[in-house]
Structure 1
Amino acid sequence: MMQWRNLLSAQRLGHRGAEPVTPARNPFQKDWDRVVFCSAFRRLQDKTQVHSLPESDYVRNRLTHSLEVSSVGRSLGAQVGEVVVAREGAALGEAWGGISAAEFGHIVAAACLGHDIGNPPFGHFGEATVQHWFRDGEGARYLEDLGAAEAGDLCNFEGNAQGFRVLTRLQNWRDAGGLRLTCATLATFMKYPFGSSAADPARRKFGYFQAEAGQFREIVGAVGLAELRPGVYARHPLTHLVEAADDICYSVVDIEDGYKLGRITFEEAEARLKALLPMLPPRYSEIADQPWRIAYLRAKAIGALIDQAVMVFLEREQDILAGRFRGDLLQHTAAAPHLAEIAAFSRSRIFETRERFQTEVMGGEILITLLSAFAAAHFALEQQGSEAGLAPRHRALLRLMPLRPDAAAPRYHWLLSVTDFVSGMTDSYALKQFQRLRGLQ
């Protein structure tokens, strides 16, 4: 059984001891600040959420989505924390000092803020393109000499694992790597607490690359995640709230965005948002403007789903702490059938458009070209042993990398550096690099 006094560890990754938890500015608030000010987070402003390069600047991107998820996550965490602190306040105070309901909210908010930080350009299509390039494309030839776990990391390239790598290694690399977030926040961030070799073959989701296995073990030890079977751990309980915040936001705001883009009617959007409410608020009839009506219903629907998710969490807390809870919180709410209908409706009416498919074709060409070019240059360096004698194009490509490549670097590590570079690009920057490689700019 996992214990809250361990799960709320304020110890920072790579540090000994923990910062004091004070009301003015606690370590988990600092985690939120560190993510906000890092360059990988800023780049989310130009990364596809659902609609690539949308015709309306109202529609969400990865940055605005992450901020909204963080806001919802803070509410979820604080409501859960209020109950837990009322019950275990003395024990938590003895372990970490001034733990209050707000600290639960800060942990969840910080983890939510980074939940998409590892996603490549062009959304989940970009992630699938990287996977296919390694499995069945040109990248497959580079995996022949790798171990099974290392090859699995690349064949099943995962935005969640890349996000963990960004937070724990790639940002602020001069300071021994990573943002040095608290173990509580990093464990809450990790939706899949296992490596690629332990992933479900059907889903292939996992939480860390082999290169970050040491950081993962350190976090597990600090917060006391329960080991369910060798190499597979139970989620941090607050991770369920991160997932709920993400699900709430994209389910509800997809309807609002679809209406704003003109892909669904006011009546279609209104009916689906109303279905998420236990009752229609009396003030709704006072709003005449249709866009404001949808915005009002969106806000009320989010509030209703927050309350339902918190109720399920508290009802199933013991199962969650024991690692027995299955599924996600929203699946166990009264709103579950309505959310399932919204998901199916959104896929058919909002997402599957000709414009989206055209953008995906373009994004696939861009990513394949970039991966092939930079991997070929690194492979040539590996074979040559130095830059001397390399083709001029390969030398130029290597000098575009953020860090000077090392000819002695193991193949697994230079392949990761290539995926780091390409997946870290924004949609626009990836397009620009593609055009320059093709001599079009």
Structure 2
Amino acid sequence: MPAAESRRTSAGARAPAGVLAPYASRPETGRGRRHAEPPAPTRNDYQRDRDRIVHSTAFRRLVYKTQVFLNHEGDLFRTRLTHSLEVAQLGRSIARSLGLHEDLVEAIALAHDLGHTPFGHAGQDELHACMAPYGGFEHNLQSLRVIDVLEQRYPTFDGLNLSFETREGVLKHCSKRVARWIEAHEPGGIGRRFLDRTQPSLEAQLANLADEIAYNAHDVDDGVRSGLITIDQLCSVPLFARFHAEALGEHPGLAQMKRSRLLAEILRRMLSAQVYDVIDATGERLRQQRPGSVEAVRAGPALVGFSPEMQRASRQLKRFLFRALYRHPQVMDTTGRACRVVRELFACYEADPGEMPPEYAQSPLLRRSVADYIAGMTDRFAVREHERLTGLQLFASP
């Protein structure tokens, strides 16, 4: 067992299992749903949110939406679905130690990427460029749009009608311009904090950080698995080098074993260290601030986070991944073709809305409807649609 995993965290950082701390969100005192509904007999509101997310169409589509590598490039690379599950697992583990509401963390984690486009960040950036004259495109806001409007499963309202706290956690980032628009349509709602410069719940803060921890680790794993980066290259990153040395020091035989076994041990240690660092650092901030309620959390500084040392180490890893993986020539070639697919799909639907399903084609806000339709596509559907509309095959058939 790694040293980081075997030691206890600092005194008071852990809450007794199943006991909510005073600063945790509670469904019985939450701000409820936009459309009133009777309570479920066997589930709290956050469990109900999670279940609605899991049963949504947008959630199922995540299995065919990419992270870094396109869906058809390999069966074992992460997708948005597996990423969301990893974020939920990390978030629940940390929430349990801090006395936060695990179900809320899980619901936010599972919903946070529902609005992501096909082709990862490349698709988002290209769709934003297409939508620049019409208000732009941002995947956090699109995730909110999915759960508030685009999922249509209930007879009396659009969307999933999730609780305020889940919706707040999904909207991680928001410009003041967009926040003012949300505030005008939902006074005192989830856009208000971006105008008041207050904090979301600790559960929302945690889900955001768990997202960062998860994608750093799995991009390392997928990058090495793809052959685009190597373990030797990664050893230039202090955080990775530390656990590489620890793993081989404790298990010298790993050097002669399959590369994937060594990498798995390094990543296990790295994830454990980051999780325990978050628990310790956040626990210390909570002891210093002593928030006695969710309202006190909202009025104070951000509390969930790494220690300064781990934050620096995480940033170093991010910089390495950006330079060596995300800007790798092979990834950039794929990115360029993916951007072309999104750009040309947008132009085709804008010129001939009838190529979209009627519910999109007949919308009075045509460009936003085009963005909604493209954002909801999986990688493989976008590739097939582009080939159907243009006659061009930019990718091998998935």
TM-score range, shorter chain: 0.7 to 0.9
The within-5 A match list for 1:305-320 is 305-317=274-286, 318=289
Q: How far off is 1:310 after superposition?
A: 2.3
Distance 1:77 1:184 in 2: 15
Q: Does 1:266 align with 2:231?
A: yes
Q: Does 1:166 align with 2:146?
A: yes
**Partner in structure 2 of residue 414 of structure 1:** 366
Greater relative contact order: 1 or 2 (C-alpha under 8 angstroms, separation 6 or more)? 2
Task: Provide the secondary structure at the position in 2 that maps to 1:235.
Answer: coil
Instruction: Give the letter aligned to residue 221 of structure 2.
Output: E
One of 293, 297, 313 as aligned partner of 1:338: 313
One of 390, 396, 401 as aligned partner of 2:357: 401
One of 262, 273, 281 as aligned partner of 1:293: 262
Q: Does 1:186 align with 2:167?
A: yes
One of 416, 423, 427 as aligned partner of 2:379: 427
Q: How far off is 1:45 after superposition?
A: 1.6
RMSD: 3.3
**Partner in structure 1 of residue 242 of structure 2:** 275
Q: How far off is 1:239 after superposition?
A: 1.6
Distance 1:116 1:188 in 2: 12
Distance 1:286 1:45 in 2: 36
**Partner in structure 1 of residue 47 of structure 2:** 29
Contact 1:275 1:338 in 2 (8 A): no
Q: How far off is 1:402 after superposition?
A: 5.2
Deviates more, 1:420-429 or 1:121-130: 121-130
Distance 2:25 2:34 in 1: 17
Distance 1:370 1:228 in 2: 33
Distance 1:314 1:17 in 2: 36
Q: How far off is 1:159 after superposition?
A: 0.2
Task: Provide the secondary structure at the position in 2 that maps to 1:178.
Answer: coil
Deviates more, 1:43-52 or 1:258-267: 258-267
Q: How far off is 1:67 after superposition?
A: 1.0
Q: How far off is 1:326 after superposition?
A: 5.3
Instruction: Give the letter aligned to residue 332 of structure 2.
Output: F
Contact 2:202 2:297 in 1 (8 A): yes
Distance 1:29 1:298 in 2: 30
Distance 1:174 1:227, change over 3 A: closer
**Partner in structure 1 of residue 297 of structure 2:** 321
Task: Provide the secondary structure at the position in 2 that maps to 1:316.
Answer: helix
Deviates more, 1:251-260 or 1:280-289: 280-289
Contact 1:77 1:107 in 2 (8 A): no
Contact 1:226 1:234 in 2 (8 A): no
Distance 1:422 1:71 in 2: 29
Instruction: Give the letter aligned to residue 243 of structure 1.
Output: N
Instruction: Give the letter aligned to residue 426 of structure 1.
Output: T
Instruction: Give the letter aligned to residue 275 of structure 1.
Output: R
Instruction: Give the letter aligned to residue 261 of structure 1.
Output: S
Provide the TM-score with structure 1 as the length reference: 0.71
One of 98, 117, 121 as aligned partner of 1:80: 98
Q: How far off is 1:346 after superposition?
A: 1.3
Distance 1:342 1:174, change over 3 A: same
**Partner in structure 1 of residue 16 of structure 2:** none
Instruction: Give the letter aligned to residue 77 of structure 2.
Output: V
Q: How far off is 1:245 after superposition?
A: 0.5
Distance 1:19 1:322, change over 3 A: same
> Gapped runs of 5+ residues in structure 1?
82-100, 141-150, 200-205, 379-395
**Partner in structure 1 of residue 106 of structure 2:** 109
One of 301, 304, 313 as aligned partner of 2:273: 304
Q: How far off is 1:370 after superposition?
A: 1.6
Distance 1:422 1:244 in 2: 28
Distance 2:194 2:65 in 1: 35
Q: Does 1:130 align with 2:127?
A: yes
Distance 1:228 1:275, change over 3 A: same
Distance 1:227 1:28 in 2: 21
CA deviation vs aligned residue, 1:239-270 (integer Å, no higher than 9, x gap): 21011101111112222222211223334446
CA deviation vs aligned residue, 1:209-247 (integer Å, no higher than 9, x gap): 947964x54754xxxx974745x5532322210111011
Task: Provide the secondary structure at the position in 2 that maps to 1:75.
Answer: helix
One of 349, 366, 370 as aligned partner of 2:324: 349
Distance 1:237 1:281, change over 3 A: farther
Distance 2:125 2:360 in 1: 28
Q: How far off is 1:296 after superposition?
A: 2.2
Distance 2:83 2:58 in 1: 15
Distance 1:316 1:73 in 2: 18
Distance 1:11 1:279, change over 3 A: farther
Q: How far off is 1:277 after superposition?
A: 9.3
How many residue pairs get aligned? The number is 359
Distance 1:415 1:64 in 2: 30
